[in-house]
Amino acid sequence: MEKNPAILSVEASIIDLPTIRPHKLSMATMMKQTMVIIKITSTDGIIGWGESTTIGGMTYGPESPESMKLTVDQYISPLLIGKDATNINVLMHEINRNVKGNTFTKAGIETALLDSQGKRLGVSVAELFGGSINSKLPVLWTLASGNTEKDIEEAKHLIKINRHDTFKLKIGSNEPKKDVVHVVAIKKALGENIRITVDINQAWNEYTAKIWIKVLQDNGIDLIEQPIIKTNFDGLARLTEYFHVPIMADEAVATTEDAMKLCKIRGGSVFAIKIMKTGGLYNAAKIAGMAEASDIGLYGGTMLEGTIGSVASAHIFSTFTNLSWGTELFGPMLLTDDIVTNPMVFKDCKLELPKGPGLGIEVDEDKLNHYKRK
């Protein structure tokens, strides 16, 4: 009987890719995107690629690019070398048993394992999960210059060329009244047919949220994302019940355990799923199942990953039955260069799932080495 291929090497590289403009969030302003690219090579010659990406160093969460590389090199790689490359469940179980937390790192590793197995079997990652329901996913754009007129001008241009018809605004770094005036002005300028979502990035307390969500709701804003601190689950449930504008849990719904608690108390009428938060595609699928059973809508979130992470997310999101709020997988469009030879296709307000085995993308290793942190 032929022996299954074994894992030969697990490499983690930190790369810094330039962005088209500064990207302003409530907790940081990004001037570039830093990602950890995972390369897993097996004895059958197959190479799988994954990506672990966070925002703003450690301002978003406890993992940084440097800590992710260290975790792969020192803790995860020794667990994988020499093991059966085809049994992803066993490999991830072993990692979860020996490495606590570190969901961003685990997402990149799991993606590389899935990419390898898809290539090995000649099927896409989506097919490993039963197949895509939609091969084209709606994708919004974040207006993050912080300047009202500039944001309106940018949005109108993107609407005119039919690249986006839904926009997200990141607020929370200013005094609430100033932020809300900014949002309302943009909504009025773009009109009622253009969907506007607001991400407060946990910046408000529950009292402030009650005052200002009312104003946003009255002015036709379509979705309110994570207005309060992620640990206030009951507060999210109270806001969900209090307003008719949908409240979305983002940072609050990271793990499967978070999702279970929020489903029980209806802490949010929409969940933002991000494979970095969940620790990979398998857990993302589990949370999607819980949300569906609880009549909670889904939104395909991003950590502004590059092409590898965005494509991995797109594969699993394409299998969801209740992706009623589309996706925000625009990360690659923020970059001035890429490390893949076949970039994602964004057309008519949607992204197209790449065809081909595994993730369906090819990495340009010369470009990877060019942008690799020395």
Catalytic residue among 69, 119, 170, 187: 170
The reply to whether 170 belongs to the active site is yes
Output the CA–CA distances (angstroms, integers) from residue 174 to 168, 170, 203, in the order listed. Answer: 17, 11, 9
Q: Are 332 and 340 in contact (CB under 8 A)?
A: no
Pairwise CA distance, residues 310 & 334, whole Å: 12
Pairwise CA distance, residues 107 & 374, whole Å: 24
- Number of CB atoms found within 10 A of residue 349's CB: 18
* Alpha-helical runs (H) found in the chain: 65-71, 77-80, 88-98, 103-121, 125-128, 148-160, 176-190, 206-218, 233-242, 256-265, 275-278, 281-293, 307-317, 365-371
Pairwise CA distance, residues 44 & 24, whole Å: 44
The helix/strand/coil state of 23 is: strand
Residue 234 sits at the vertex; the CA angle it makes with 277 and 251, to the nearest 5 degrees, is: 15
Output the CA–CA distances (angstroms, integers) from residue 119 to 112, 192, 194, 239, in the order listed. Answer: 11, 45, 40, 45
Pairwise CA distance, residues 8 & 82, whole Å: 6
Give the amino acid at 301: G
Pairing of strands 29-42, 47-53: antiparallel
Pairing of strands 270-273, 297-300: parallel
User: Catalytic site residues?
Assistant: 170
